[in-house]
Amino acid sequence: MRISQVLKVKGDDVAVISREASVSDALGQLAFRGVGALVVSEDGITPQGIVSERDIVRALHVVGPSVVDQNVASVMTSLVRTCSPDDGIDTLMSLMTDLRVRHLPVVVDGRRVGIVSIGDVVKARIDELERDRVELVEYISAR
């Protein structure tokens, strides 16, 4: 299964925030949207970073409560790991595990076209295994 198939089911909506927005604004967006990460982008299209709950918690530990008044650029991950719609689920599972990341923007020609989380990847893999199970049961029953 390819990431493009995951996006067909999930959709291409991506929560985006500016580098200059406050960490407090980022927390509000994470809570409001019910997501674990926001893509940081000034134009809303080109990923410049990613800020996750994990990034904010780490900054909170180091800086303290005043971190919420800082801008997103001060806590975001600047090295954005991305994937392509053509990437396979198994490859992405390995990549996310190896990099210890939970969210990867899906990018084509430098432009974001979606985002996948580890939850999306696991759900897609479980759905794939369930389809295989049903097909095997039908095959066995037909014999």
pLDDT digits (tens, 9 = 90+) for 43-89: 989 999 999 999 999 999 999 999 999 999 999 999 989 999 999 99
Could you report the per-residue pLDDT of 22-38, keeping only the tens digit for each? Answer: 999 999 999 999 999 99
Looking at residue 143, its pLDDT comes to 73
List, in sequence order, the alpha helices (H) in the chain.
3-10, 23-33, 53-63, 89-99, 118-142
CB 16 within 8 A of CB 41: yes
Single-letter amino acid code for the residue at 60? L
The span from the CA of 139 to the CA of 22, in Å, is: 56
pTM confidence score = 0.86
The domains found in the chain, sorted by start residue, are 3-142 (3.10.580.10)
Span 99-115, mean pLDDT? 93
